Each structure stands twice: as C-alpha cells, then as structure tokens.
C-alpha cells in the first residue's frame, strides 16, 4: 500500500440505520464540516419513516445553514439508493434498548451480570441472532448493486458481525468499527493520564509524534500494551492515575452501569496482568471477577446491569434535541457547535482525502499480533486507505490476556456460525463457551426463555421443529 492510487471527488455515503442517534447526528456534522466530504452525497436510510424524515430534514437544514454543496437523500428502501455508493455504513439496531434489557434481566436471573449486554454473554449471542441476518441481507444487496463500496459495520457485537462479513461476504471490502478508540482523542486521554499534558487543548502534532501507544485485542477487550513518551515508559504513570481517580470516580459522575467503578477495575486488572484495559466499560463484563460469584466479598461490588428505563430517557432526550433544531427553538446555526466528528466519518474522510492518518478498526490480524492467528479478528491500529487496510505491527499478546482473548474469539466465531448455519447445537456451544456461563442447565434455560421472550424479532427458523 504505497501511497494512494484511488481518489474520490464527490463521495457517496449511505447510512443504513440513520435513526441511530449515536451515529446519525455526528455523521451529519462531519459530512458538512469536511471539505473532502461536503461536495458529495449523504444518503440516510431507515425503515422508520417518521424518524427518517426528521433526520433528512435536519441534515438539509444544516447543509443550507452552512452553505455547502452536500446533497442529502433519504429512503426507507436501501435498494433504491445503493447504486454508485462509495461507502455503506451499517448502524441499525431495532428496539435494541428493549431487547438488551430482556437479555440482561433473564441472564441476571441465572447469575450472569451484564452492564451492556450487547457483545459478550447471552446478550452478545442473542443480539447477533437479531442483527446478523439483516447485516448479511444488506451485504447481499451491496454485492449486487455497489460491489466496490467499502462496508463499515458499526453494529454490535462488532467482532461477530465483522468476522461474519469477512467470512460470508468475502468479495466485499469490509471492516468493523467501535467508537471507543477514536483517534487522536484516545491518545489525548492517555497523554493527560501520563501527565504529558494538563488538558486536551495542549495536545499537539509534536506530542503526538513523541507519544507511542500500542493497543490491541478483541473489540471491547482491548489492552494498552505499550505507552512511551520520548522513549520513557509511562504505562505505570497511566495506571497510577487510574488508581488515584478510582477514589472519587463515582462521586458526582455518571452512575450508569457501564460507568461504575471503571477506574478501580482498570487498576485492579493492571495489578493482575501488568497492562491497562482500554475499554473497561465493556471489558469488566468479559471477565468473571465482578459477577458476584466469589465466596469472599470483593473490594469492588458486582456489576450493575443494563439500565433499560434510563436508556429510554436518554434516547427521548436526544430526540427532543433534534425536534428543538427542527422547530427552530434551538437555532440551526448552533448545530455545528453542538456536535463533533464521528469515528466512522473521520475514517471515511481520511480515506477519501488520502490524509494518511492511522485509525483503530476491527479487522483480520494479518500478523500484527505475532502469537495469534492471522485470521484472528482484532481491534488494531491500521493504515486505512481506499486501496485497503493494513494493520500496524503490535508484537506478542501477553500470556493470560492472550488466553482470554482466544476464548472470546471462539465464542464470537461459534456465534457467527450458529446464526448463519441456523444450528441449534452451535448456538448452545457458543453460549457454553462464553466466559460468563457457569452452568449447563442454566444456559439451556436462558436460551429457552430468551427465544420465547424475543420471538417477535428472532428469525422464525429458530422455532422450526426440525432445527438441528
């Protein structure tokens, strides 16, 4: 991948699931803001026509207010708008708050605590059962209509869905994405933790060059394996910063399940393994230590589970914010000061503009982590251009961490196979391989109860009497 051989003057970006509030609003911001993108086309697709119309109208208002040439389109039918797409972003999740709540509630009944419930544990398996079939249907349409488009999966479980696209849609150009390692913002956070800067405003290109990070692992189970500034190891300094902030992290801050005790847990994992987890809000549910299963009381309490009602309230607030812009209550001129860059559209800008910036994405290992398989699906710092994806060298994954990574990868791979092959035995095997599951009888009951409670969204074939 020497240089950039492909350029696009007016990129067409199609977003499948534009009603995803955690992506759609920032996507509009970046497409309008970027000189590399704002002469192209942004196509918003969603099956909920009311929400779609709101986002399309909002996008057009932002375009008009900023006087850019970005063309806005909307459709409830992806097949009508995929033609000539350069990028297709997958960001849909039907009623995800509701079903993640069900996944977490039933799992907790059998001793499995999930603070997020969308990537590991029964929640990860069942979310893949809900989302992956539609992802592969979209992939089939893309292969037929715009086979040269880059496909970016932004749907959890990111590893399951990303590896499934690689395996079952091998002719497409794909990678998967998570927002937890958005560069350079991730480096800024650790630069502040290391005492290199006092706040993010002090970060500069010079500091960026001198600050060498190495992060790798399965999505949501990634680790800071190296942190050097001007050749000095600052990983212990970062860890000690986490230890200090652990004393006050739940005072006056976000008390949602994913936010509780993250710094304390990060430091405890560092104390055990010698490396810092970089996505602790998720990592803490990938390990059994805070499941409340020990005979002795731990210094950190068991995980709080996914807070369904609070999530509904948060989504309602986001829609009220959009309505406020649409009604004029909040001037549309404030939009560009309200939001900021999104990870996916940052990467698209980089690819279109040939900017040469590295980004963390989920893709095949290809030798980056030397003691894991080349086809291991990992989150790695990569060169990402229109010509392809190239993971940058990492070295070895430390023992202990590597063993846990392999177990998670096997769980994810079995999940993908079970969903695609419609194989009940592999579904059971995936659940029982999962690091959070401790009882065969409990696992079987969880499967039965979740299938019953989610029959209105799980594909019908899972209920066929002759299922394997």
pLDDT mean over 370-374 = 98
Which residue is listed with tokens 């590893």? Answer: 159
In the predicted structure, residue 438 carries a pLDDT above the cut 70: yes
In the predicted structure, residue 59 carries a pLDDT above the cut 70: yes
pLDDT tens, position by position, 251-260: 545 568 888 8
Query: What is the overall mean pLDDT for the chain?
Result: 93
pLDDT tens, position by position, 216-263: 999 999 999 999 999 999 999 999 999 999 888 765 455 688 888 999
Q: How far apart are CA 77 and CA 190, in angstroms?
A: 43
The answer to whether the peptide bond before residue 30 is cis (omega within 30 degrees of 0) is no
Q: What is the DSSP string of 355-415?
A: ---EEEEEEE-TTSBTTS-TT-EEEEEEEEETTEEEEPP-BPPPTTHHHHHHHHHHHHHHH
Strands (DSSP E) contained in 33-163 are: 41-45, 71-75, 87-90, 150-153
Q: What secondary structure letter does DSSP report for 260? A: T
Q: What percent of the chain has pLDDT over 70?
A: 96
pLDDT mean over 69-84 = 97
C-alpha of 142 from chain center: 21
Tokens of 113: 């605590």
pLDDT on residue 247: 81
Residues in the chain: 468
Torsion, CA 248, CA 254, CA 259, CA 260, rounded to 10: 50
In the predicted structure, residue 425 carries a pLDDT above the cut 50: yes
pLDDT on residue 11: 97
Q: What is the DSSP string of 209-225?
A: HHEEEEEEEETTEEEEE
pLDDT mean over 146-150 = 98
pLDDT on residue 306: 87
Overall pTM > 0.75: yes
Helix (H) or strand (E) holding 171: none
In the predicted structure, residue 1 carries a pLDDT above the cut 50: no
pLDDT on residue 467: 60
pLDDT on residue 180: 87
Strand-strand pairing, 388-391 and 377-385? antiparallel
Q: What secondary structure letter does DSSP report for 296? A: S
Contact of 107 with 121, CB cutoff 8 Å: yes
Torsion, CA 403, CA 261, CA 275, CA 356, rounded to 10: 100
In the predicted structure, residue 36 carries a pLDDT above the cut 60: yes
pLDDT mean over 125-131 = 97
pLDDT on residue 115: 93
pLDDT on residue 2: 44
Cα-trace Rg, the chain: 22
pLDDT tens, position by position, 178-222: 988 999 899 999 999 999 999 989 999 999 999 999 999 999 999
Strand partners, 229: 211, 232
Residues 128-150 as b/e (b if ≥16 CB within 10 A, e otherwise) read: bbbbbbbbbebbeebeebbeebb
In the predicted structure, residue 339 carries a pLDDT above the cut 80: yes
């Amino acid at each position: 991948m020497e240089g950039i051989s492909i350029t696009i003057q007016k990129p067409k970006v199609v977003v499948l699931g534009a009603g995803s509030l955690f992506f759609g609003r920032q996507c509009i911001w970046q497409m309008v803001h970027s000189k590399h993108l704002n002469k192209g086309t942004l196509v918003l697709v969603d099956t909920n026509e009311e929400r779609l119309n709101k986002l399309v109208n909002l996008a057009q208002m932002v375009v008009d207010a900023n006087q850019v040439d970005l063309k806005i389109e909307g459709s409830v039918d992806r097949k009508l708008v995929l033609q000539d797409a350069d990028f297709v972003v997958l960001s849909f999740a039907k009623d995800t708050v509701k079903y993640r709540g069900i996944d977490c509630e039933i799992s907790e009944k059998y001793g499995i605590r999930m603070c997020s419930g969308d990537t590991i544990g029964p929640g990860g398996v069942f979310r893949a059962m809900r989302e992956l079939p539609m992802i592969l249907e979209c992939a089939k349409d893309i292969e037929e209509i715009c086979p040269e488009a880059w496909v970016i999966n932004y749907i959890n479980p990111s590893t399951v869905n990303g590896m499934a696209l690689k395996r079952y849609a091998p002719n497409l150009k794909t990678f998967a994405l998570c927002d937890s390692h958005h560069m350079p913002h991730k480096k800024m956070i650790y630069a502040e933790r290391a005492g290199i800067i006092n706040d993010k405003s002090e970060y500069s290109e010079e500091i960026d060059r001198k600050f060498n990070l190495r992060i790798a692992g399965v999505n949501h189970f990634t680790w800071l394996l190296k942190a050097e500034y001007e050749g000095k190891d600052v990983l212990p300094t970062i860890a000690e910063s986490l230890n200090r902030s652990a004393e006050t992290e739940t005072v006056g801050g976000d008390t949602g399940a994913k936010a509780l005790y993250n710094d304390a847990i990060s430091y405890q994992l560092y104390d055990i393994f010698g490396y810092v987890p970089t996505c602790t809000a998720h990592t803490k549910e990938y390990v059994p230590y805070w499941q409340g299963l020990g005979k002795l009381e731990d210094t950190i309490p068991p995980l709080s589970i996914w807070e369904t009602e609070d999530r509904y309230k948060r989504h309602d607030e986001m829609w009220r914010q959009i309505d406020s812009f649409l009604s004029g209550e909040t001037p549309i001129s404030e939009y560009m000061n309200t939001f900021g860059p999104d990870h996916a559209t940052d990467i698209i800008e980089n690819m279109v503009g040939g900017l040469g910036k590295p980004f963390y994405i989920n893709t095949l290992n290809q030798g980056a982590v030397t003691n894991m398989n080349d086809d291991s699906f990992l989150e790695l710092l990569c060169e990402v251009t229109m010509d392809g994806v190239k993971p940058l060298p990492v070295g070895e994954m430390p023992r202990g961490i590597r063993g846990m990574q392999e177990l998670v990868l096997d769980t994810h791979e079995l999940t993908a196979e079970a969903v695609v092959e419609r194989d009940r035995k592999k579904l059971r095997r995936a659940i029982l391989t999962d690091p959070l599951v401790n009882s065969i009888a409990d696992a079987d009951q969880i499967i039965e109860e979740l299938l019953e409670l989610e029959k209105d969204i799980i594909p019908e074939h899972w209920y066929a009497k002759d299922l394997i």
